[in-house]
Structure 1
Amino acid sequence: MSRIETVNTTGPAVERRSIDFVPASERHGKPFGQFTLWFGANMQITAIVTGSLSVIFGANAFWGIIGLLIGNVLGGAVMALHAAQGPKLGLPQMISSRAQFGVYGAVLPLVLVIVMYLGFAATGAVLAGQAVDQIIPTGNPIVGLVVFGALTVLVATLGYKYIHALGRISTTVGIIGFTYLGIRLFMANDIGAILSPEGFAIPTFLLSISLSAGWQLTYGPYVADYSRYLPADTPAHRTFLGCFSGSVLGAQWSMILGALFASIAMPPGQDFLDQQIGFVGNLAGGGAIAVLMYVVIVVGKLTVNTLNAYGGYMTILTSVSAFTRQLRFAPWVRFAYVIGFITISILIAILATEEFISNFKNFVLMLLMVFIPWSSINLVDYYLISKEKVDIPALYDPKGRYGKWNVPALITYVVGVLVQIPFLAQTMYTGPMTALLGGADISWIVGLVVTAAVYYPVARKFQHPPKEMVFPPGVAD
């Protein structure tokens, strides 16, 4: 049967929806929009820094780049499987996780997701603020942070349509700017010698894979937020490919530059890590060209920071609505939440010491281990247990099919977190199994596999998914 409503081709100028179901009359866009959004979000300075870490931590540039590619492909596939849920469900990502954890139970990972968004927003704003200060020299770095924060609030408040528009802009300027940086890099250095395949080492190779896989996996909790407006009949494989190819290609391009930057800096990577913005400006050639590169950096960081702010707002509302049972929120509510979220992140960036920012970043990276079992449970349940069929009204009703708490799923989730601890290789904690692996961090692989293996038989016994999709009243299937 066809839906009662017809499909819109453009969508409203300012987004009206929040955590509620998107009806067919408001669906619009094409899967290619997923490509430009995620390509643009990954063409940014923090992705370059992540790529540089593979070399700084000891990998040969050639093998580091290969490892980064493998990690991007593996992590990107998991992330894109979440994105493919968006058109089918018409819901934000974390609302749909109530089908696994219960209406109240889903709040547990949600709180940690909010901390992650806040951490990425605060640490990313530091770099973006430096770039803004280079474009508009004021002698006061706080001005750059405030300007960047205001731009983030503007786009995140306008919502979905403008976020995708920003993704298209970021893709265009990113391709131009990063191509120019690549040309400058090759002209000034013997890249052939840097890319010698000698010096392969398993620990650093696995570390490179983990760096990029972790980068991709952090998008999982909000990736469907940006595909949920696509028409419901959009083929899942097209949504998957649009998101996957954009995110993997954008991230890999940036990380290759990072690995090469670290290889030419002396000692390895130190010049780049000490002054990332200045390093890029100098490589660009200084002067007006450097200013243009700073603009590229700001646009890239603005894209991903807007995703963090918008995702943070959606996650907070999802948590609040579990107890208030409110389905829709006015645009001014989004504005208020986004203002509060960005204000906190900017205050952290302004008031925190450099040591605190470094420790906070390490803490946020360590939080990755709490999202991996969530991701595994969500994907196993949606694709293998529920088989893409969800009772949407029950997601908002603690007395409905999914209940308040899904204890078996929550226990599995905790097991998925705990099983990773011995395999962690983070700045704040190193597990006992890490030494046996030569320092490599494979916790994310352990978390994904063990959680899936435990959850599948548990879900087969305790989950009772609907036989068909159940839509809100007034929506035909």
Structure 2
Amino acid sequence: MTVRHTPRERLSLERRTIEVIPDAERHGTPRSQFTLWFGANMQITAIVDGALSVVFGADALWAIPALLIGNVLGGIVMALHSAQGPRLGVPQMISSRAQFGVHGAVLPLLLVILMYLGFAATGSVLAGQAMSELLHIDDARIGILVFGVLTAVVAVTGYRLIHAAGRVATVAGVLGLGYLLVRVFTQYDVGAHVGNKGFETATFLLAVGLGAGWQLTFGPYVADYSRYLPRDTSTRATFWSTFAGSVIGSQWAMTLGALTAAVAGKAFLTDQVGFLGDLAGPAALAFLVYLVIVVGKLTVNCLNAYGGFMSILTTVTAFDGRSRISTTARAAYIVGFTTVSVGIALAASADFLNNFKNFVLLILMVFTPWSAINLVDYYLVSRERVDVPALYDPAGRYGRWNVTALTCYVVGVAVQIPFLATKLYTGAITKKLDGADISWIVGLAVTAALYWIWVRRTADPPAETVRPVADTDDGDRSAAPVA
């Protein structure tokens, strides 16, 4: 049953954190997942991600379909994570305790927190530049600080306001990025800059990896935003709404990025935000484009701050046994996370594009095995049957540490090393492949196969999903199976 909320309720502070969302508080439809993920992807960092494929050697004619392949493949994995939200009603990294153990899930969690900080910081750099243009301030650092305050306010308010920001970003993104795409074709001879290079396997696979990596990085927190949906929400509807929003939004932005990098060259490389403002034309339209950039980045940066807070809390509570904290403590976590990300943004290197590419590929390396283990276990081994109360109990069904999952995870990361192609390290096999990076494909396949073979005969999932019967403010919980 869908619950409707008044405007005042939509702006009220969220009180739930990592605990199970009771059925009485479930609300919304899968459509909300489309607007959230479409809006979160129609933003400048996705434009930069698409531009990287051209900056590092691919012709836009080949980069755009390669990015689409990566977005589709990564989007399938990402949306499969999202589909777990309504069924379980818990944050994504809490559900990973079913695979790694209550304490064991902390290992990938620490990497997740670093990922959130990295994306929040890089996003703040670009959004801060746009904010400075809006405010007519020469010092971009002030823009970064103002943007950080906005991020903290929305993230502290929580789930409903974040979804509202996604709806606004959807409309703003369609209008703003649609207009910029038209301007690229009207201001430049696109045909003269596209199709000048032949197909190159290495750069094509780099573009596929950039698209896939972009999508896979949403995996550790995508269910955080579907967990409030009613428990009887169609799994397929959740999957397709999330998949369509994320893939269409990201591909639109990345296509704009690839074409812009192709026609503009160094003019775009030195000042991505400023170039898009100039591309918009008259000052009034440039102002609106800067506003679109801020709105899009605000949506996704709130996801990073909210997800970072949830991951930190999941890590801490794995050892102290809590499943909820006070509203004040919740706000303090989010403000603290945002402060650190802003500090990183203020100290960011000038070599933004190269560092961002290596950051995305490194994150892809460490999260591909996690996704493989989570999805194989949930859909193939446990067949969507989870003992939800045991996710909070180190002495329960899932225990403290799952050596099998942790071993598979480490193997999944290690097996990718010979296939890496980054600034810091190029694997031996990658050199023989002329620099083509297929590490994420190897990591996904090897981890999934190893975990499936190892676990399928020893797994002990419940006969039916077990969920809390009662979820009251005093923490009283009892459990019963549910079909």
For the aligned pair, the TM-score class normalised by the smaller chain equals over 0.9
State the percentage of identical aligned residues. 62
The one-character-per-residue Cα deviations of 1:86-135 (angstroms, maximum 9, x if unpaired) are 00000000000000000000000000100110011111101110100000
1:392, distance to aligned residue in structure 2 (A)? 0.6
Paired position in structure 2 for 1:288: 284
1:208, distance to aligned residue in structure 2 (A)? 1.1
1:8 to 3, 9, 25: 3
The one-character-per-residue Cα deviations of 1:307-350 (angstroms, maximum 9, x if unpaired) are 00000000000000100110112222221001000101111112
Residues in 1 aligned to 2:359 and 2:258: alpha-carbon distance in whole angstroms: 23
> Do the aligned residues in 2 keep the contact of 1:119 with 1:364 (CA within 8 Å)?
no
Residues in 1 aligned to 2:353 and 2:66: alpha-carbon distance in whole angstroms: 27
Matches within 5 A, 1:66-465: 66-196=65-195, 199-265=198-264, 269-354=265-350, 359=355, 362-363=358-359, 365-465=361-461
Q: What TM-score does the superposition give when structure 1 sets the normalisation length?
A: 0.95
Distance change in 2, residues 1:374/1:297 (3 Å): same
For the residue of structure 1 that corresponds to 2:469, the secondary structure is: coil
Paired position in structure 1 for 2:43: 44
> Do the aligned residues in 2 keep the contact of 1:40 with 1:174 (CA within 8 Å)?
yes
Aligned partner letter, 1:254: A
> Do the aligned residues in 2 keep the contact of 1:72 with 1:213 (CA within 8 Å)?
yes
Residues in 2 aligned to 1:197 and 1:142: alpha-carbon distance in whole angstroms: 39
Q: How many residues align?
A: 469
> Do the aligned residues in 2 keep the contact of 1:123 with 1:361 (CA within 8 Å)?
no
For the residue of structure 2 that corresponds to 1:230, the secondary structure is: coil
For the residue of structure 1 that corresponds to 2:465, the secondary structure is: coil
The one-character-per-residue Cα deviations of 1:38-72 (angstroms, maximum 9, x if unpaired) are 00000111111111111112112111101011110
The one-character-per-residue Cα deviations of 1:139-172 (angstroms, maximum 9, x if unpaired) are 3322211110011001111111111000000000
> Do the aligned residues in 2 keep the contact of 1:120 with 1:364 (CA within 8 Å)?
no
Aligned partner letter, 1:337: Y
> Do the aligned residues in 2 keep the contact of 1:55 with 1:61 (CA within 8 Å)?
yes
For the residue of structure 2 that corresponds to 1:470, the secondary structure is: strand
Paired position in structure 2 for 1:3: none
Distance change in 2, residues 1:88/1:165 (3 Å): same
> Do the aligned residues in 1 keep the contact of 2:52 with 2:357 (CA within 8 Å)?
no
Aligned partner letter, 1:252: Q
Aligned partner letter, 2:133: Q
Aligned partner letter, 1:270: K
Aligned partner letter, 1:250: G
1:25, distance to aligned residue in structure 2 (A)? 0.4
The one-character-per-residue Cα deviations of 1:236-286 (angstroms, maximum 9, x if unpaired) are 110000000000000000011111111112xxx322121001110111014
Residues in 2 aligned to 1:139 and 1:248: alpha-carbon distance in whole angstroms: 35
1:77, distance to aligned residue in structure 2 (A)? 0.5
1:359, distance to aligned residue in structure 2 (A)? 4.6
1:196, distance to aligned residue in structure 2 (A)? 3.5
1:355, distance to aligned residue in structure 2 (A)? 5.2
1:288, distance to aligned residue in structure 2 (A)? 1.4
For the residue of structure 2 that corresponds to 1:473, the secondary structure is: strand
Residues in 1 aligned to 2:289 and 2:103: alpha-carbon distance in whole angstroms: 46
Q: Which moved more, 1:136-145 or 1:383-392?
A: 136-145
Residues in 2 aligned to 1:22 and 1:158: alpha-carbon distance in whole angstroms: 17
Structure 2, unaligned stretches of length 5 or more? 471-478
Aligned partner letter, 1:36: T
1:368, distance to aligned residue in structure 2 (A)? 2.3
1:462, distance to aligned residue in structure 2 (A)? 2.9
> Do the aligned residues in 1 keep the contact of 2:128 with 2:147 (CA within 8 Å)?
yes
Aligned partner letter, 1:9: R
Residues in 2 aligned to 1:374 and 1:232: alpha-carbon distance in whole angstroms: 25
Residues in 1 aligned to 2:421 and 2:352: alpha-carbon distance in whole angstroms: 20
Aligned partner letter, 1:202: T
RMSD: 1.7
Residues in 2 aligned to 1:231 and 1:470: alpha-carbon distance in whole angstroms: 16
Residues in 2 aligned to 1:331 and 1:306: alpha-carbon distance in whole angstroms: 17
Residues in 2 aligned to 1:383 and 1:39: alpha-carbon distance in whole angstroms: 26
1:461, distance to aligned residue in structure 2 (A)? 2.9
1:206, distance to aligned residue in structure 2 (A)? 1.3
Paired position in structure 1 for 2:474: none
